[in-house]
Structure 1
Amino acid sequence: MWINMAITWSPNMPPIALMAWLTKEWRLFALVNGIVCIPGILFCLVFISESPRWLIHKGKIGAATDIMKNEFCRGKIGEEVESIVIRECELSHRADAKKRKYSIHHLFYSRKLATITIVLAFS
């Protein structure tokens, strides 16, 4: 059900309500809804590639280079891909080195943050 509602929440409400009304019980509704979601999941697995920036951040530079070459070849800009990936990798490592580590107690450092945290926790 979540994939039906996650992508386009508002337009999917009437078909989901109709499907729930036609199936009459939640187990059949969940089964039918799962079957309806299969084409969307397959489409995402086949046609949508991972973000090159995320791959670089995780150290998978070869996969990021391949994805960028495939994307850039469509626009006929395949020569500079290696330098772009290496530069992006260096920028990512520099940004990671500068990051400060935060934990749960940082949510209570100031009165304003503590108030927001408590309100959101109990709402």
Structure 2
Amino acid sequence: MPIALEPNQSFDVVLPSDKDKPVESRPTFIARTQSMRGQRQTLKAIDDSVDTKNEELTHELMFKIVLDELERVLVGWRNMGERDFSRDALEDVLSFREARELLMMVAHNQAVQHEEKKS
């Protein structure tokens, strides 16, 4: 069924650095499934966050672009200790590289694979 007909679908995303951790304690992000339009928007944000031709791009703007997009595509998380999911908390738990890696996985609707879920 086309994603556009089920817009509230979500999927689990695990950063590669966490994939070997036990399922019950593995840090897991919950993302909205992206249509082609959403994928385009996410990929544009990734590109814009490192556009070396943009003379107005500051470190502050780079982080804002990435956080704005994470806020749009993520709906929650699990196994992040006592932290509640929020934009502010994202800044505390992710590096810039991890944030961009997470966006790339969301842009490609890369859910945790079935065999990964079993471990």
Category of TM-score, reference length = shorter chain: under 0.3
Q: What TM-score, normalized to structure 1?
A: 0.23
Higher-helix-fraction structure: 1
The structure with more radius of gyration? 1
Q: What TM-score, normalized to structure 2?
A: 0.24
Bigger relative contact order, structure 1 or 2 (CA pairs below 8 A, ≥6 apart): 2
Higher-strand-fraction structure: 2
